[in-house]
Amino acid sequence: MAKVLMKGCEAIGEAAVRAGCRNFFGYPITPQTEVPEYLAKRFPEVGGEFVQAESEVASINMLYGGAGVGKRVLTTSSSPGISLMAEGLSYIAACELPIVFVNIVRAGPGLGGILPAQSDYHQATRGIGHGDFKIIVLAPSSVQEAVDLIIEAFDLADYWRNPVMVMGDGMIGQMMEPVEFPEMVNISKLPKKEWAADGCKGRSPNIINSLYLQAEKLNEHNWKLKAKYDEIEKRERRSETWGADDDMDVLVVAYGTMARIVKTALSEFRAAGGRAGLFRPISLWPFPHRELLAAGRKAKRILGVEMSTGQIMDDIRLSVGLNKKVDFFGKTGGVVPTPDDVLEQLHALTPPPKAKAKKKGRSK
Amino acid sequence: MAKVLMKGCEAIGEAAVRAGCRNFFGYPITPQTEVPEYLAKRFPEVGGEFVQAESEVASINMLYGGAGVGKRVLTTSSSPGISLMAEGLSYIAACELPIVFVNIVRAGPGLGGILPAQSDYHQATRGIGHGDFKIIVLAPSSVQEAVDLIIEAFDLADYWRNPVMVMGDGMIGQMMEPVEFPEMVNISKLPKKEWAADGCKGRSPNIINSLYLQAEKLNEHNWKLKAKYDEIEKRERRSETWGADDDMDVLVVAYGTMARIVKTALSEFRAAGGRAGLFRPISLWPFPHRELLAAGRKAKRILGVEMSTGQIMDDIRLSVGLNKKVDFFGKTGGVVPTPDDVLEQLHALTPPPKAKAKKKGRSK
Amino acid sequence: MAKVLMKGCEAIGEAAVRAGCRNFFGYPITPQTEVPEYLAKRFPEVGGEFVQAESEVASINMLYGGAGVGKRVLTTSSSPGISLMAEGLSYIAACELPIVFVNIVRAGPGLGGILPAQSDYHQATRGIGHGDFKIIVLAPSSVQEAVDLIIEAFDLADYWRNPVMVMGDGMIGQMMEPVEFPEMVNISKLPKKEWAADGCKGRSPNIINSLYLQAEKLNEHNWKLKAKYDEIEKRERRSETWGADDDMDVLVVAYGTMARIVKTALSEFRAAGGRAGLFRPISLWPFPHRELLAAGRKAKRILGVEMSTGQIMDDIRLSVGLNKKVDFFGKTGGVVPTPDDVLEQLHALTPPPKAKAKKKGRSK
Amino acid sequence: MAKVLMKGCEAIGEAAVRAGCRNFFGYPITPQTEVPEYLAKRFPEVGGEFVQAESEVASINMLYGGAGVGKRVLTTSSSPGISLMAEGLSYIAACELPIVFVNIVRAGPGLGGILPAQSDYHQATRGIGHGDFKIIVLAPSSVQEAVDLIIEAFDLADYWRNPVMVMGDGMIGQMMEPVEFPEMVNISKLPKKEWAADGCKGRSPNIINSLYLQAEKLNEHNWKLKAKYDEIEKRERRSETWGADDDMDVLVVAYGTMARIVKTALSEFRAAGGRAGLFRPISLWPFPHRELLAAGRKAKRILGVEMSTGQIMDDIRLSVGLNKKVDFFGKTGGVVPTPDDVLEQLHALTPPPKAKAKKKGRSK
């Protein structure tokens, strides 16, 4: 299929269509309103159903219903809207229902601003709701990867019967890039969901429920979930390294569009003789702890870069332990660090040879 | 003042009264409905205002308003209800408003059950809402401590202009214990809140706001918050050790009522010659990382015990690093581990001398 | 097409399908939940969209949206649910949007009960919301008529660009009768809605709006609406007489299923020589004032019968003036007057000759 | 007590305070936001409780609660906000709870405009919610009368255990007039509400409920309510005549601030020799039918004047029957008829002698 030039938000919408999603429930919020806008037009062409709900609280409960009857369902929102879904997400995860949702993160906390940020990392990877549950979190760094991960998200959701969040930011939603879409999934050939409450003629009813009045039953259920999460941690870690050679001075850890900016900075840094590379988690949960530990061993120090005040640092520390030198650089509130900002940090940590030489020269 | 025998939930309510709180907004949910029930009766006696709101979403926004005009405000809820407050909490933290809220944690996820749990640890300590913010979390292990921490919570909230959560569980809410209350705070002598939007006759208006349209302003605001959180991490860590001698075989880490059960198990274990102690975080955020690192150095291994599938383990690992042996034992869904359960774990990790002796004896 | 035996609620659902409605938004409430239940199953077969909203407030606003883009939209509810739609209905009428909604009236006020009633007459015909507006109200007295009126309701709504309510009661919803459906409407051949906000490629945008900041504009708009209502009053009055001969002793006025019960009573009354007939309004608004005036002239007195405490009496008086003898008989709260109850009333007002004879006989 | 110059909305607030109301629940909407604004400041001075709820749906249910425990409670809103209270009002009336609420009517339907109107007459007098119930509606035509009627409303509400609406419009809310307030009611001396659910120590519990599962019970309850409404119709009709001499050419029927404008027009009309008077209903329900019938007998014709498209006409017709000449004049949408507008109508119906003379003169 030929490539088309497309805005990130619209490409996300189209990817959901290709994945066989025909049910969207959501409420508009900047900077992701282009996704529902696109689907409101696109769904009718493919027999899909688009519902603008009364609120995010309503939306997430509609996803609960849609997923419960076996549909591939989607919502998209941005930070404050995601917070309003906290209770519903816990219900959905408890019931092991597959849903896909997109958080085009905006600057927080509170109303904050509408510019890009990555400051929902903690919420996404831990504690987005009450109780012992986990959601899979995927962080694309290009429009094409957003398309690929949306499609994969629907498969992961169905396979693991678990919510999957694709976490982007305003940049990825608004930038235009050439993308290639796969063929439309043949919905009728998707694996049958034997557990769905989709009518029980000729079989015993399926029950979708998160209430367990007997503690022992709920304990059992929670450990069954935990075993699933352990399995996901084993099998679904995704990451990428770039320029992560042996004997680096610095390994930068960054994800999403931030990682692209870091690559630009690293290219320049390396061109100037610097020894530094990138470790990019693609799945934020499960976090690629082992992969980062391995990559980290090859570097003298680690620099986390995030559009936040440092939420990813817990996971970096949990990967590499207390003995590795670890620093953080971030901006927040919608300010996007530039390649020069990152370069400056790299220089501060470990001046590249030429820079050292220059400095020497200067010091004469 | 003389001790009175009182149920935990009621004692929490009375403590809020003593702390000078006169405004409660909430919505009932088991197992903490006794707090609003108590305050609905008690507030009228002291000129307070009790409002049962339409929902938890409404409640938290009413706290936003009440705190904004400088009142000491309270809500209490349980896990799903707390999730519904996620968006509002982010707004309140962004505006640096002091509120106190209580989470009497019930088993989750989803509707779960109404029995005790500690499975909201991640939510409380990280990511309860979107954006870079933190809430102070205090975990009492007795009714008296609940009373003391509620009162301290109001002072901490005002001092740091930050939300403070007191996190208990169904046990602490339902058990009866003798408690002693301090004298009623003289509300008129509480420090004046110069920032409150409480009428601006004769001065320029105070503005309570979390929206920043200029990214640079929001960036600045977020780093200002971060500096406050760093300061809180320095100054407000609270923890306790019990029997944490040098040369322990095991240091158990547990908090809340779970820590009491662990103490019972440890007493027996130690009486039998075992070498084990307890580290009890009282503030879950800021987590007493340094204190645990120090205590952990004296033990061969660490055992985290929590009524969850292991949420506290991140913070234990972040305290002691990757090289310490660390295990977890927990039950969830409302099943409360007994002292015998804990004892069994201790024996499994490091049989006490007598047990070893017995075993030897048996092996003959 | 052959007749099929069908429950009223399901027949109402099928009628909407035949009328080309493919969008339902609603919230369940007894005794009409069988309509959404039916459509939830039926719509997917015909490419329709069924949404269970968060509440009735949400539902009616979704109808606003659906009608605004030109779809034939439906909601069904029962008394308390209809009250929750009051604000939305006023908005929809103000914007001249065609919607069809069904009120399967239950006993009120408040939660009341789930049994049949007609006590929403005033709400339906006057003051269901704020401002100067009217909705067309049709009251079927059999399942077949319900089917016919539902289909007509969609045509009337589109023609007049006005909300149309079909008002039934628990009896009509629950009873089974043989019904005949017309062929499915060819949706693509329905008249194009030139005013709809359905995409404005190649034309200037259509705006759906009820806010007028200039009083003169709103005054004009209201008198334009009034002219439409006057026209509807002229052209859309529907009523039926039965046994309304000249020289009646009593003309009974009743509508809906109550009218059927009255017919049974009248049959017996007339068989015994009594002179009484029925006037049945089919459109409650516009009320057939002229027709009732004419029919009333032929009777000595009028008896209104309604499952209420007498709401229809205003309209009877407005039809026949102050000089006619007018009485009321009704039961409420879910108690359905029996034919014998009605007969007793008739006898009390004007004993039929035989009865008189009998009485005479007896008095000997 | 001395007169003070005060804005209508604020005077309404103060009147509620004087009547012993200490509980307000509401949601802001133009043009009545000055009432809550006033009470938000005033209540704290007298130990009252002011709550801004999440929505009008929430507010009315909070009034339900507040009234249920025996408090004098108030909400104020404007047209769309009142519509959102429809369901709750039906519940409150069903439970026979005394509440007072103010509708400062704005132009409708839908969002309409924020200027004065009287187009909620039908909603107020009939069918504001589902089921057989009535609310008392009082329509002041000056700020002083608003104050008096607010105070009376609380007494009527308590006496009849029924909701009472005070219906004003933007003019009465915004105009400033000198008003005199009575002394503050001694709340502790108000009659004890024996039925209130205010704690049942030492007595059997009181139950506030609108659900009746047995139809016979609900039927009985509804007829009990009907008997109360009949009694209210007998005893609580309020009206005023002005210049309603014998042998009028025209009797104008108008209420609220519209009646004041009519008086100005009538003064001029009468000064010019015209024979016309005013009938002003003060209670809109119960409508003073008998009083209007009597006053109407003295006039050749009747002219209804209302800021609507003619909602009061039903009640005029119901008072005077079909044989009297009845006309209507109104403007709507926020356009307020001027005295000249009314004068023009009077002249059109019956030119005063001088005017006739003038006309003759001109025709020469």
Tens digit of each residue's pLDDT (9 = 90 or more) over C99-142: 999 999 999 999 999 999 999 999 999 989 999 999 999 999 99
Question: Does residue A219 contact residue B332 with C-beta atoms inside 8 Å?
Answer: yes
How far is CA C325 from its chain centroid? Answer: 27
- Using a pLDDT cut of 90, give the percent of chain A over it: 91
Quickly list H helices, chain B: 8-18, 34-45, 56-68, 79-83, 86-94, 121-125, 143-160, 170-174, 215-235, 256-271, 289-297, 313-320, 339-349, 353-363
Predicted confidence at residue A329, as pLDDT, reads 98
* D212 has a chain C CB within 8 A of its CB: yes
What is the pLDDT averaged over residues A94-113? Answer: 97
Is the model's pLDDT at B1 over the cut of 90?
Answer: no
Q: Return the amino acid letter for D224.
A: K
In D, which residues are within 8 Å of B49 by CB distance?
49, 51
Mean pLDDT of chain D: 94
What pTM did the predictor assign?
0.89
Nearest-by-CA chain D residue for B198: D41
- Tokens matching residue C236: 């859309």
How far apart are the C-alpha atoms of B271 and B263, rounded to whole Å? 12
Task: Return all residues near D38 (Cβ < 8 A) that are at least 6 apart.
Answer: D9, D10, D13, D14
Tell me if C54 and A49 make a contact (CB, 8 A cut-off): no
Output the CA–CA distances (angstroms, integers) from residue D163 to B311, C334, D72, in the order listed.
Answer: 53, 24, 11
Cβ of D58 within 8 Å of Cβ of B58? The answer is yes
Share of chain A above pLDDT 70, in %: 96
User: Is C129 close to D111, i.e. CB distance below 8 A?
Assistant: no
H or E segment and range at residue D345: helix D339-349
Residue type, A16: A
* DSSP characters over C73-104: EEEEE-HHHHHTTHHHHHHHHHTT---EEEEE
Which pLDDT score is estimated for A355?
Answer: 52
Q: Do D58 and B57 touch (CB under 8 A)?
A: no
CA distance B294 to B277: 13
Give the strand pairing for C276-281 and C239-242: antiparallel
- CB < 8 Å from C in window 27-56 of D: none
Average pLDDT, chain B: 94
Does any CB of chain C come closer than 8 Å to the CB of residue D245? no
pLDDT interval class at B254 (50, 70, 90): very high
Amino acid (1-letter code) at residue C353: P
Residue of D nearest to C111 (CA): D211
Q: Specify the residue for token string 């009409």.
A: C32
Residues C2, C8, C12, C18, Cα dihedral to 10°: -10
B29 pLDDT more than 80: yes
CB contact under 8 A, D62 and B47: no
pLDDT for the residue C352: 59
pLDDT score for C329? 98
Chain A residue with minimal CA distance to C65? A52
Contact B243, B277 (CB under 8 A): yes
Mark yes or no for CB contact D119/C131 under 8 Å: yes
pLDDT band at B127 (very low <50, low <70, confident <90, very high): confident
For every residue of A276-289, DSSP letters joined together read EEEEEESEEES--H
The model's pLDDT over B41-87, given as tens digits with 9 standing for 90+, comes to 999 899 999 999 999 999 999 999 999 999 999 999 999 999 999 99
Verify whether the Cβ–Cβ distance D65 to B54 is below 8 Å: no
- The model's confidence at residue B170, banded by pLDDT at 50, 70 and 90, is confident
Q: Which residue of A has its CA nearest to C59?
A: A54
Give the neighbours of chain D: at least 3 Cβ pairs within 8 Å: B, C
Is residue D200 packed enough to be buried (19+ CB in 10 Å), middle (13-18) or exposed (0-12)? exposed
pLDDT-derived band of residue A170, with 50, 70 and 90 as boundaries? confident
Q: Under an 8 A CB cutoff, do D57 and B54 touch? A: yes
Q: Is the dihedral of CA C147, C150, C154, C156 positive or negative?
A: positive
Whether B301 has a pLDDT exceeding 60, the answer reads: yes
User: Above pLDDT 70, what percent of chain B?
Assistant: 96
Q: In chain A, where does DSSP find H-type helix?
A: 8-18, 34-45, 56-68, 79-83, 86-94, 121-125, 143-160, 170-174, 215-235, 256-271, 289-297, 313-320, 339-349, 353-363
CA distance C185 to B16: 65
Quote the DSSP letter at residue C277.
Answer: E
pLDDT reported for residue C200: 87
Over 80: is that where the pLDDT of A361 sits? no
Which residue of C25, C41, C46, C51 is the best one to mutate when testing the A interface, meaning the one whose CB has the most A CBs within 10 A? C51
Residue of D nearest to B22 (CA): D49
State which residue of chain D sits closest to C316, comparing Cα positions.
D318
What is the spatial distance between Cα D224 and Cα B154, in angstroms, rounded to a whole number? Answer: 52
Confidence of residue B354 (pLDDT cuts 50, 70, 90): low
C57 neighbourhood in chain D, CB within 8 Å: 57, 84
Q: Which residues of B touch A117 (CB under 8 A)?
A: 131
B332 touching chain A per CB within 8 A: yes
Q: Contacts of residue C61 in chain A, CB cutoff 8 Å?
A: 54
Q: Is the pLDDT of residue B242 over 70?
A: yes
Tell me whether C297 touches chain D (CB under 8 Å). no
- In this complex, whether D and A touch, counting 3 or more CB pairs under 8 angstroms, is no
pLDDT tens-digit readout, C163-172: 999 999 889 9
C61 touching A, CB under 8 A? yes
What pLDDT score does D272 carry? 94
CB pairs under 8 A between A and B: 256
Facing residue for C53 by CB, picked from A41, A49, A54:
A54
Interface contact D107-C79, CB threshold 8 A:
no
Coil, strand or helix at D171: helix
- pLDDT at site C2: 83
The pLDDT score that the predictor gives to residue D353 is: 63
Chain B residues within an 8 Å CB radius of D87? none
Chains C and D touch (3+ CB pairs under 8 A): yes
For residue A331, give the amino acid letter: K
Which subunits count as partners of chain C given 3+ CB pairs below 8 Å?
Answer: A, D
How far apart CA B255 and CA B253 sit, in angstroms, is 7
Write out chain A residues lying below 8 Å of B79, CB-based.
90, 130-131
Chain segment A123-154, per-residue pLDDT in tens: 999 989 999 999 999 999 999 999 999 999 99
Min Cα separation C197/chain D (Å): 18
Indicate the helix (H) or strand (E) that contains D250: strand D248-253
pLDDT band at A201 (very low <50, low <70, confident <90, very high): confident
Question: Band of the pLDDT at B353, cuts 50, 70, 90?
Answer: low
Give residue C337's identity as a one-letter amino acid code: P
Please give the biggest Cα pair distance in chain D.
89
Q: What is the pLDDT of residue A362?
A: 40
**Closest C-alpha to C326, from C337, C335, C315:** C315
Q: Tokens 């660390």 map to which residue?
A: B326
Using a CB–CB cutoff of 8 Å, tell me whether B222 touches chain A: yes
Interface touch A217/B128, C-beta < 8 Å: no
- CB contact, 8 Å: B351 with chain A? no
Of all residues in chain D, the percent with pLDDT exceeding 90 is 92
Nearest to B296 by CA among B237, B356, B239, B236: B239
Which chain D residues are Cβ-neighbours of C120 within 8 angstroms? 127, 130-131
Mutation pick from C132, C209, C319 vs chain D, by most beta carbons of D within 10 Å, is C132
CB A176 within 8 A of CB A118: no
Q: Which two tokens stand for residue C279?
A: 């006037």
pLDDT by 10s per residue, chain C, length 364: 689 999 999 999 999 999 999 999 999 999 999 999 999 999 989 999 999 999 999 999 999 999 999 999 999 999 999 999 999 999 999 999 999 999 999 999 999 999 999 999 999 999 899 999 999 999 999 999 999 999 999 999 999 999 999 999 889 998 999 999 999 999 999 999 999 999 888 999 999 999 999 999 999 999 999 999 999 999 999 999 999 999 999 999 999 999 999 999 999 999 999 999 999 999 999 999 999 999 999 999 999 999 999 999 999 999 999 999 999 999 999 999 999 999 999 999 986 565 554 444 443 3
Tell me what pLDDT residue C199 has. 87
* pLDDT score of D354: 59
Average pLDDT, stretch D230-254? 97
Does the structure show a pLDDT above 80 at D242? Answer: yes
DSSP symbol at D136: E
pLDDT at residue A359 is higher than 70? no
Nearest to B65 among D41, D52, D199 (CB): D52
Q: What are phi and psi of C164, to 5 degrees?
A: -125, 125
Average pLDDT, chain C: 94
Q: Hey, which chains touch A, using 3+ CB pairs under 8 Å?
A: B, C
Question: Residue B89: which region, alpha, beta or left (left: phi > 0; alpha: psi -120 to 50)?
Answer: alpha
State what percent of residues in chain D have pLDDT above 70: 96
